[in-house]
Structure formats: structure tokens, C-alpha cells
Amino acid sequence: MAETKTAAYICTGCGIGDTLDAARLAKVAKREGKMALVREHAFLCSDEGVAAIRADLEGEEAVTHVMLAACSRRMKTEAFHFPGAAMARANLREGVLWMVAEGEAHDEVRREMADDYVRMACAELKRLKVPAGNPDRGDARRILVVGGGVSGLTAALEAAEAGYDVLLVERESELGGWAARLWKRMPSREPYGEPAETGIGQLIERANAHPRIEVMLGAQVAQTRGAPGRFQVRIARADGSTAEALCGAIVQASGFTSYDIARLPELGGGIHAHVVDQAGFEALARQANGAPIRRADGRPLKSVVFVQCAGQRDTSGKHLPYCSGHCCGTSIKQAMYLRDADPEASAMVLYTDLRTPGMGEDFYRSAQAKGVTFTKGVAQAVEAAGEGLRVRLRDLILDEDALAEADLVVLATGQVANAGVDLDAWEAAVSAAEKGDAAAVAKKDELAKVSVLNLAYRQGPDLPQLKYGFADSHFICFPYETRRTGIYAAGPTRRPMDIAQATEDAAGAAMKAIQAVENAALGRAAHPRSGDLSYPIVRLEGCTQCKRCTVECPFGAIDEDEKRYPLFNESRCRRCGTCMGACPVRVISFENYSVDSVGAQIKAVDMPDEDSGKPRILVLACENDAYPALDMAALQRRAVSAFVRVIPVRCLGSVNTIWITDALNGGWDGVMMLGCKKGENYQCHFVRGSEMAYYRMSKVDDTLKQLGLESERVVNHEVAITDIERLPRLIDDYVAQITAIGMSPMKGFA
């Protein structure tokens, strides 16, 4: 191993040298930061500046650790890309020059701020190592696609066309899924005037003929072990035989099931033979194949009522609370079937509001032109009336009750995801079964039958789900990624959608699967820290087996060995550091991010005495939302108090309470944590990081009481990346609050 040699580079460009004393900063880096080599440069990001740094790395100086005092760590990442060196950055431009108000009155506090950031970066640098990459790499590049509908077929073909082998597993005896049951589909391009061919036949032909795609019909995933690049999958066939496969990534495209109309007896569901769902009407249209459509008893349809939002958008808690997205367009399409085949037939679409995403009003207007009637109202009951049906409804335009006679009623019942086992129910059943509850054992066995992936993970056999059963994914930033690294959700298993949306969704999931395969082969992290070569390192000799890391990991990356010690699956790890923040004995770290690397920054600040009138506020800012928002606020020259010192963290979930304790013991006057939105509509890039941080920090009050400090000295705030105006106000208000409380009495003991 090469001997460690540190170097600090002070940039004077972008006005830094005009406002800050670069020579002074160089002395701080040399004397207090203990940097072996210190250089100043007019523009470090220029070709000349980068070449100078690279010369020191590769030449006689043999520098291994680089500290750049220049712009934010989020800027010039391509210019400052030195993969063979450890690197820390002091944010002088956005964090000091652009963020602190101008003028002589602020010169002193600005200088102190810049000095501190240089000290902090030097302290961090000494605790960093160059990540060597995950030694347990996976070289499997085959992609497993589970589900042979539009989503699965599209994902398989996109991956195969990109040059990757694909194993496509479909539990039914034929490919096509729901699309194969349709007569036609909603149009996906202008002029949006007519129902279009489904195109599912061509997709199936392409998949069956593609040399890189292996199709297994009548098969299910019996077990999935391993991690990205090395998933070991056992496939169970309908004939009882099994097959083994090694795959690099997985796309789950297991589709949906229509909401059971039998749960809508008030609308005739499950009671009247001539009340069907949209799939039932589609079957009648396929059978007619363009001729006048007939009921199941052979009677020609002369009047049909299409009831929208049947068991959907329900506020009572009895049915589906969400909109399934495609249903309005599907009813419009089916009403066109009826009118095209028999212009004398009556088609009424009963709706509260119409939603045709992607098509504007064109499809709706086309149906109007064909004579389809649209009535704004709510169906209250469906009754038998002679050989037909009678729909009792409330007309919302006329504000009166009305009746509609029909040969057939079609209920738009919506989509229920085939996402596998509800892990909350699974965990409850497993816990009860372990206590000897026979009913729980039976419940566990019953749940196992609906599993899609049968994951051999400590955290359960399937992907975590959202509140209504759809596979969990980050709906803003990472729509395809699930909480199981290397496994991607596509199509209606992820959220309700139509064919056009599912096609696009599947292509995106396939591309992410390819990215996971390539990252795993190189020992790198997946999203959102894609390319990070670090991985969690644990000193088992100090482990107390508290299991907090295994329980709190959002991604199922930690199992337990036979001695009940944590067993890390590095390829599953997203490098969020939640395990590091959870560990009470601080035995978990990363080569380029650790309890020590942040703790050293906290201790490196020059702490003013109690009578100085200069408080010090520690801001731990999430690098995904809060820190970028601060950078953008600085870009707009929105001033922030120079009494704060900002340390970016990978996620609030990585914040270890020792940082808070060290800061308070060290004389910091307040600690402010800025993270992403938590809860059901979370925005945390690492899903549960903010939530876990709030939970941990809720217990900090005891520490504050022991130190004789006010509870207001530690605060938590949810911040979005768009909070460019709000964030500076939030920080300044907190500084004012701390100033009013008074300086920390711990300063005299620091």
C-alpha cells in the first residue's frame, strides 16, 4: 500500500481570491490542517489547474489524498475526477462567498467561516480511504423478467436488443397477459380518433423469435437468492420439474387483477349475469370481432351503461381509494365498439369526471361524434328489469334522480396489483408462527402461495409495498427502483396504468436492470450513488448483536449469519449509511464516509468563547435535497447567517447520535438536521432515512437534559430540493432562536 500523502489546493477563481485571503487559507491548511503540500491556483477547474493536480498525483509528489478549497462538491465533478485518490472539498464559493452577505461588516465572520471549512475538509480527508470496490462482484449479465404481458415482453425485448440475454418467466401457458384478452386498445398517437390494434401478437412473435430471449411458460419463481450480478433463481414448472438460473438483475412485471365485481352487489356485481366488468365486455367484443355485440345469452346489445369509478376513488374505506387511470379511456373505447358495430345501439358513459391522460380530449370528442352519450352522475343501484337492467342514478348536472334502462351494465372496476406478499402481514404471521400459533403457520403458508419472487431474504419473500399493494418505488426520482437492489418493478404492478404507459415503464425498468448488471460487475453501488466503489465494513469483534442495522436497512442488504451477527450483502447496498447511523457502538463504516470522517469535521471548527456573541450552528444537510437547495440559494445570492457550518451527509438515516453528542459537548450552540420528506408520500432517496433520523432524534432530549441544555438546541426539518427561498429563512430563523436562547454553557468545557 502506498504511503499516504495529503495535498491542499486553494482556488482563487470565481471571485474567491478577491474576497477571501487565499494565503491565509493556505496557512490554515498547512499549519492546522497538517497538509503535506499546499498550492494556490487561479482556476483549479481549468485544464491547467486539473493538469497541475494530476501531475502531483502521478509525479514525484505521489499525492494520495486531495483537498480542494473551491466550489461546492456538487460542481465540476467531471473536471475533479481523480479515481485513484481520496478527495475532500471545502465549499468556499457557494458556501461562503455567495452565501454570506457582502460588505465590510461581514468580513470577519466570512473569513472565520472560510477558515473553518478548510479545517473541516482537511480533517475529513485524513479519515478517508480510496475505495477498492466490492470484492464479492457478480458477473452474471442475464436479466430475469417475471411476467409475459405487455410490460414483461417490452422489458425483455428492450434488454435483448441492447445485447443482454433474457429469461422470461410466465406463469400462464401463453404470453400476452391482459393485452391478449383485448379486442383493441386505446390509441397511443394522434389523431386519437379510433381504437387501435393491440399489437400484442407482434410482441409475442418478436420475443419468441429473438435469439437472446428464453421463454418459460407455465412456470413460476420458486426461490430467489443472492444479489445484483449473482441472483440464484429456481424456477418451478407446471409439470413439477425445476430449473436453476443465474441472473444479474430482475424485472418484476407481474401485472394486475381486476377488482372483483362481486364486492359491488349494490351495482349488481356478482348478482346479475348481465353486469360485467370491462374485461367481461372485452371478451364479448372479441367474440363479435366487429359484428354487433351480443350478451352471454346471445341477445344483441341495444343499450349499454358504462359505470365509471365502480369500487374506485372510494372515500368510505370499503373499496379502492385510488383512480386506476385507464378506465375512462377503456369505457370510451368500448362504447365506440358498440356504436361502430351497431349505430342504432345506445351507449351511455356514466361518470363523475373523465380522465384520459396522454390523449387530451380528442378520444372523448371522437366518441361524442359517434353518438356516445356522456352523463355526469353517480350510479346508486342496478336492478333487474324484465330481460334487462335498470340503473338508478343521481344526475349531477340536473341535480335529480334518474333511471336508465340497459341490456348490459359494464362496471369500470380498476386495477389491483399482483405484487406478491404484503410484508406487514407476512412479518406478523412469521412472528406468531415462531411462538407456536398453528393458525399463524397456516396463514404463513397461504401467504407464501401468492409470492411472486419468493425472495430468500430476512425481510420477507417479496418487494415492500405501498399502502394499496403496489410495489414500492421512489415516485419522483427513481420510479422503477424498488427497495430490493437489482430488482425493478414495471407496469401495473408498480402503479395503475394503460398499455402506452406500461410500455414506456417497461423500457425504463429494462435500462435500470442493465445499469445494475454493469455496476455489479464492477463492484460499484447502484442508484442513487451509482458508481460509488465503497461498501459497508463492520468490525464484528465490537458488534453487540443488537440487530438495529438489519432491521433498519431500507433495502434488505443485511442478513444474519449462524451466530446472529450481521451479514452484509454488499451488492444489495445503496451506500446510504443508515446502518452506520443505527449502530450504537459505531462498528460500521465506509472507506469514504464514516462516523470518524464526519466527527472529525465537527471537532475541527474553531469554537468562539461564550462571550464572543458568535454562535456556531451545525447543519447536517442531506446531499440529495437540502444541500443542492442550499447551493441553488447561494447561486441566487440568498444570504444565510455566517454562524452556520454545513456538513453534507449521504442521508439523515446515516446520522449517528454520537455526532449530536460530540457537537453539544464541543460547544456547538445548536444542531439543525435537514432531510427529505418522510411518511407515506416520502421523498427520501433512501426511502426511510429521514423517518429513521426523526425516530432516533426523538430520543436526544435525554442527552440534552443530562447536559443541562434546552431541547430547542437540536431541530429536524423536512426540506425539498425546491425550497430555495424557504431554506435560508429557515436557517436564519433558527440562528435567531439560538441567539435568543443564548450561547451554550458547554463552550467552557470544550
Same structural domain, 243 and 269: no
Same domain membership, residue 157 and residue 64: no
| Per-residue confidence (pLDDT) for residue 526, from 0 to 100 | 84
pLDDT at 710: 87
pLDDT at 436 over 60: yes
Q: DSSP H helical segments within 28-103, as ranges?
A: 47-58
Asked if residue 149 belongs to a domain, the reply is: yes
Cis status, amide bond into 528, omega within 30 of 0:
yes
pTM value > 0.85? yes
pLDDT computed for residue 351 by the predictor: 97
Strand segments, DSSP code E, in 116-207 are 143-146, 166-170
My answer on whether 87 and 157 are in the same domain is no
pLDDT score, position 748: 65
Q: What is the 3-state secondary structure (H, E, C) of 695-744?
A: HHHCCCHHHHHHCCCCHHHEEEEECCCCCCCHHHHHHHHHHHHHHHHCCC
Residues 265 and 382 both lie in one domain: yes
What's the pLDDT at 268?
Answer: 96
Cα gap 552→559, rounded to integer Å: 11
Domain that holds residue 470: 143-255+463-521
Confidence of residue 611 (pLDDT cuts 50, 70, 90): confident
Which band of pLDDT confidence, cut at 50, 70 and 90, is reported for residue 749?
A: low
Residue type, 547: K
Instruction: Select from 79, 95, 130 the last residue of a domain.
Output: 130
Q: What pLDDT, on the 0 to 100 scale, is given for residue 750?
A: 54
Together in a domain, 316 and 349:
yes
Alpha-carbon distances, residue 383 vs 261, 404, 611 (angstroms): 15, 11, 83
Q: Parallel, antiparallel, or unpaired: how do β-strands 714-718 and 670-675 relate?
A: parallel
> What letter would DSSP give residue 106?
G
Could you tell me which residues come within 8 angstroms of residue 541 by beta carbon, excluding any fewer than 6 positions away? none
Look up residue 747 and give its DSSP letter.
Answer: G
Mean pLDDT of 682-689: 88
3-state secondary structure of 223: strand
Count CB-CB contacts under 10 A for residue 208.
12
Query: Which among 590, 591, 584, 543 is positioned nearest to 567, based on CA atoms?
Result: 543
pLDDT tens readout for residues 177-201: 999 999 999 999 889 999 999 999 9
Q: Which stretch of 430-444, 451-465, 490-504 has the lowest confidence by average pLDDT?
A: 430-444
Residues whose CB falls within 8 Å of the CB of residue 296, separated by 6 or more in sequence, listed in order: 273, 274, 284
- Which of 535, 619, 601 has its CA nearest to residue 67? 601
- Same domain, yes or no: 233 and 350: no
Kindly report whether the peptide bond that precedes residue 357 is cis, defined as omega within 30 degrees of 0.
Answer: no
Q: Is 457 part of any domain?
A: no
Same domain as 151, residue 107: no
CA atoms within 13 A of residue 723's CA, in its CB half-sphere: 20
Angle (deg, nearest 10), helices 362-369 and 327-341: 30
What is the model's pLDDT at position 102? 74
User: Which among 254, 157, 145 has a CA at the least distance from the CA of 203?
Assistant: 157
Identify the pLDDT of residue 269. 96
Q: Report the number of distinct structural domains present in the chain.
A: 4
Average pLDDT over residues 265-293: 96
Query: Domain ends where: 394, 417, 440?
Result: 417
Q: Measured between alpha carbons, how far is 618 from 585 in angstroms, rounded to an integer? A: 23
| Strands in 562-652 per DSSP E | 566-568, 588-589, 617-622, 644-649
Q: Using an 8 Å Cβ cutoff, are 37 and 127 in contact?
A: no
Total count of residues recorded for the chain: 750
Task: Work out the widest C-alpha separation in the chain, in whole angstroms.
Answer: 97
> What pLDDT sits at residue 2?
66
Same domain? 293 vs 388: yes
Same domain, 396 and 275: yes
User: Residue 571's Cα: distance from chain center in Å?
Assistant: 17
Tell me the mean pLDDT in the region 395-406. Answer: 96
Mean pLDDT of 286-298: 96
Out of 513-522, 562-571, 602-611, 700-709, pick the least confident: 700-709
Residue 632 belongs to what H/E stretch? helix 626-635
In this prediction, residue 290 carries a pLDDT of 95
Average pLDDT over residues 6-20: 96
Q: Out of 385, 401, 417, pick the residue that ends a domain.
A: 417
How would you classify the pairing of strands 37-41 and 6-11? parallel
Look at residue 161 and give its three-state secondary structure. Answer: helix
The upper half-sphere exposure of residue 65, i.e. CA atoms within 13 Å in the direction of its Cβ, equals: 21
pLDDT, one tens digit per residue, over 331-365 is: 999 999 999 999 999 999 999 999 888 877 899 99
Contact assessment for residue 488 and residue 481, using Cβ atoms and an 8 Å cutoff: yes
Q: Do the domain assignments include residue 600?
A: no
pLDDT at 470 over 80: yes
Q: How far apart are CA 157 and CA 572, in angstroms?
A: 25
Residues 32 and 38 sit within 8 Å (Cβ to Cβ): no
- For the segment 117-131, the average pLDDT, to the nearest whole number, is 97
Residue 696 in any domain: the answer is yes
Residue partners of 311: CB distance under 8 A and separation at least 6: 259, 261, 263, 264, 319, 320, 411, 413, 414
Spatial separation of the C-alpha atoms in residues 656 and 726, rounded to whole Å = 26
Does a structural domain hold residue 635?
Answer: yes
Per-residue pLDDT tens digits for 304-319? 999 999 999 999 999 9
**pLDDT tens, residue by residue, 549-605:** 998 999 999 988 888 899 998 889 999 999 999 999 999 999 999 999 999 999 999
- Residues 265 and 250 occupy one common structural domain: no
Give the E-state strand segments of 650-689 in sequence order.
670-675
For the chain, the C-alpha Rg in angstroms (whole number) is: 31
d(C-alpha 205, C-alpha 156), whole Å: 13
Task: Determine the average pLDDT of the residues in 734-742.
Answer: 94
Q: Does a structural domain hold residue 439?
A: no
Asked if residue 598 belongs to a domain, the reply is: no
Question: 256-258 and 537-538: which strand pairing?
Answer: unpaired
Strand partners, 7: 37, 66
pLDDT above 70 coverage of the chain, percent: 99
Q: Do 412 and 264 share a domain, yes or no?
A: yes
Query: Cell triple for residue 6?
Result: 495529503
- Give the mean pLDDT of 48-68: 97
How high is the pLDDT of residue 46? 97
594 inside domain = no
Mean pLDDT of 191-218: 97
Q: In whole angstroms, give the CA distance from residue 109 to residue 451.
A: 60
pLDDT beyond 60 at 1: no
Range with lowest mean pLDDT among 186-195, 211-220, 471-480, 727-736 = 471-480
Buried b (16+ CB within 10 A) or exposed e, 91-100: bbbbbbbbbb
- What burial class does residue 521 get, using C-beta atoms within 10 Å of its C-beta: 0-12 exposed, 13-18 middle, 19+ buried? middle
Q: How confident is the model at residue 702 (pLDDT cuts 50, 70, 90)?
A: confident
Residue for cell digits 438515516?
653
The reply to whether 62 and 158 lie within a common domain is: no
Residue the block writes with cell 365486455: 281
Check which CATH number belongs to the domain holding 122 and give it.
3.40.50
Look at residue 277 and tell me whether its pLDDT is greater than 90.
yes
> Residue 403's domain is classified under what CATH number?
3.50.50.60
Residue 416 pLDDT > 80: yes
- Give the up-direction half-sphere exposure of residue 591: CA atoms within 13 A in the CB hemisphere: 14
CA–CA gap between residue 94 and residue 73 (Å, rounded): 10
